[in-house]
A and B are shown apart, each in its own frame.
Chain A
Amino acid sequence: MLRRSLLRALPALTALPALARTAGAAAPARSTLRFSWPANAGPLHPHLYAPNQMYAQAMLYEPLLRYVEGGQLAPALATAWRAEPDGRGHVFTLRPGVRFTDGAPFDAAAVVANIRALLARPERHDWLALVAQIEDAEALGPGTVRLRLRGPYPPALMELALIRPLRFASPAVLRPDGGISAPIGTGPWMLAETRPGQHDLFRRNPHYWGGPPALEQVLVRVAADSNTRALALEAGEIDLAYGTDQLDADTFRRFAADRRFTTAVSPPLATRLLAVNSARFPTDAPAVRHAIARGVDRAALVRHVLLDTEPAAGTLFPENFPHADLGLRAPDFDRAAAAALLEQAGWHLAPGERVRRRAGRALVLDLCFTGSDALQKSLAEAIQGDLARIGIGARLLGEDSATCLGRQKSGDFGLIFAETWGAPYDPHAFLAAMRQPAHADYQAQRGLPMKDEIDRRIGAALAGTDEAARAEEYRWLLTTLHEQAVYFPISFLTNKLVHRADLGTVPFGDTRYEIPFDRILPRG
């Protein structure tokens, strides 16, 4: 009897240190939050891109102004700002008393040092018009900075809110070669530890100007696969899933029905869509594009493939985005009307055939998607089924993501899956990129008779100083793209979160890639 109880105690003894650790982490109001992400956070350079993960950059580094839901700007590291009369200069009053986590003060000199480091390598940022627009930054006083632009550029303030590249690291860590020696910012979190392939650990910044976060630590485990994540969440190995595609729709719905878990869906953040190639047979014909717009059952895709985790999208941008509230509506799903459009345009279905023909040419197009993306694959197969019913043949090309991206850039597609970038990039930065040939949007629009005018008006919408005139340009642009049916919007991307009901309250961030760990309030 004694021996048996001793035997039983043995494994418990060896497990003691582990136990102590978990108990310590979970005891006072759950001070550590365990999250998961497909990859490590990266070197966390505030001005650079992949492999830096945006959620982590946003934890460490802060902007001068921040974007709030609905398209407004709010003070962050700058408490006040004004434009100079010529529209080329912006003066910012910096928040007093802010320090980087290495103790260095956040002042005008720090802002200038960061912006000059950015301007030293402009080729890294050619996708963002603002970087090319910035002439220089100068310190007007210890707490005042002036940003000089080459010309008037009204979206400048919006682009200052982006997660990258216009955020600020301590001047002490900026290296002359463009790298950083350590990830030191002003944000609510500090990077405490990184283990490649395992996890990243963030500790709260006790001196954060906005008050330290309620959580003490955020542990981010590396989990590449959504099934792994779902199992970890269920087993209590992670506390939170948060993101657009962190869990697949069926799993999300299962958690939503489970009373042990709390789930929530954010307002629209970006758009999931198909780009329709107007420069390639057969979608070069407006009738075919309009038939696609009417012949694919968007409501069924949203209900049965996305399982209502995202709202249906009738327009390129959600109406809660700036300049996008234009009252545009997608044409109603109507298979007979779609077929009639094709008949009128001379596409006829011979008896016994499944695909329409005109002058001997079959109505067949390539529908391209990322083969490893289960959701895109399901959507593609369902859309193929819808198109088959109106006599359009769709060849499904499921390829690796690099090949898919290559097709977006070269225009070698009939229909291809794409996403808009979300606030605060949408709509202006997304429209700006439509002028670049290396984007699916440019390729999709290339065959439109008014493509030159579209590009010219995008320029006017971005650079104009008269707010009413700019709004009018946006109206014309978004209406034209809508009427030409070069996009088939499917749904508005949302962030979905799942956590155990006893975790506390988890709010949504204002943009797609920000996770507001600092505003999570653990229960207790």
Chain B
Amino acid sequence: MRRLPLPLALGLVALLLGAALLAPWIAPHDPAATDLARRLLPPSAAHWLGTDHLGRDLLSRLLWGARASFGAVAAILALVLALGCAVGMLAGMLGGVVDAVLMRLCDAFMTVPTLVLALFMIGALGTGLGNVVVAIALSHWAWYARLVRGLTLSLRQRDHILAARVAGLSRLAILRRHVLPALAGQLAVLASLDLGHWMLHLAGLSFLGLGVAPPAPEWGIMINDARPFFRSAPMLVLLPGAAILLTVLAFNLLGDALRDRLDPALREHAH
């Protein structure tokens, strides 16, 4: 099957990211300003997508919701990469007991389903967007640690690394200069495929009321809030749902496109 080309996927992500970044300037209304007299309005010139059950502008809430979702996913990404790379490279580079202990720790995290683990952590940490981000990151880093360790192990035997070691370069410097750049491509592929998954995770936990504090908008909680009005105002559910769908789709397309570009196995296949 022919996949969508990379520029298209990048363009879609850039569009959504732009909306999120520019929300404070392009949103036509304050997303938290309630006006009960103007509730559940259909789309109009003043409210392009209409208003929700408390009279808040839906378009503004969607834009600000993108901000919350993208910000949270970026934070999850940073946390997962930091934790995964640190643990994986440490295990791969040092080997021995350190490796064994860290990998058993990974096993422990990988045995529990991620959603259950995340719910457990939120139970321990408390609700709130920050805690949800930490919980999702902590339930997903182990796969990255595994991947990084494997790649580090195989890289360690390469000639140029051996040469660097013989030349007296410290382990830290080797990791920084030679291992990390070599991992970047693989990690980019894996992460871009996971971004959509995290976005869904986030929306799911937020739907359960564990994420952002009201009245801050977020797509998952917007769907939950609108549930009682599904029959009379279905757009309140469908629009945030469509936003989640589009974003997850964009990330997955990006991930696929990146894999086609960067994955060495696929590249060799193409030759």
Contact = CB atoms under 8 A, between A and B. Distances in A.
A250 B232 contact: yes
B127 A374 contact: no
A467 B259 CA distance: 85
Contacts of B55: 304
Contacts of A319: none
B124 interface: no
Nearest to A373: B209
B231 A254 contact: yes
B39 A398 contact: no
B36 A304 contact: yes
B214 interface: yes
A250 B228 CA distance: 7
A105 B110 CA distance: 64
B32 interface: yes
B228 A374 contact: yes
A248 B228 contact: yes
Nearest to B208: A372
A325 interface: no
A480 interface: no
* Residue of A303, A371, A372, A399 ringed by the most chain B CB atoms within 10 A: A371
Interface residues of A, number: 29
B36 A382 contact: yes
A514 interface: no
Contact of A301 (B36, B127, B209, B227): B36
B209 A372 contact: yes
B222 to A, nearest CB: 12
Given A248-B228, A254-B231, A371 B209 contact: yes
Interface string A227-256: 100000000000000000000111100100
B53 interface: yes
Contacts of B33: 385
Interface in B223-243: 224-225, 227-232
B34 A382 contact: yes
Given A303-B36, A304-B36, A396 B215 contact: yes
Contacts of B228: 226-227, 248-251, 374
Contacts of A520: none
Contacts of B34: 381-382, 384-386
Interface residues of B, number: 23
A460 interface: no
A301 B55 CA distance: 12
B54 interface: yes
Nearest to B123: A400
Contacts of A180: none
Contacts of A372: 209
Interface in B5-51: 32-37, 39
Given A250-B232, A254-B231, A381 B36 contact: no
Interface string A371-399: 11010011011101110000000011111
A304 B37 contact: yes
Contact of A381 (B54, B224, B230): B54
B37 A381 contact: no
A305 interface: yes
Interface in A52-110: none
Nearest to B34: A385
A45 B268 CA distance: 74
A382 to B, nearest CB: 5
Contacts of A297: 36
Interface in A280-307: 297, 300-301, 303-305
B225 A398 contact: no
Contact of B214 (A251, A304, A305, A381): A381
B213 interface: yes
A398 B214 contact: yes
Interface of B: 32-37, 39, 53-55, 127, 209, 213-215, 224-225, 227-232
17 contacts: A227-B227, A248-B228, A249-B228, A251-B228, A251-B231, A254-B231, A254-B232, A303-B36, A304-B36, A304-B55, A374-B225, A382-B34, A384-B215, A385-B35, A397-B213, A398-B213, A398-B214
Given A251-B228, A385-B215, 4 more contacts: A301-B36, A377-B225, A384-B32, A399-B127
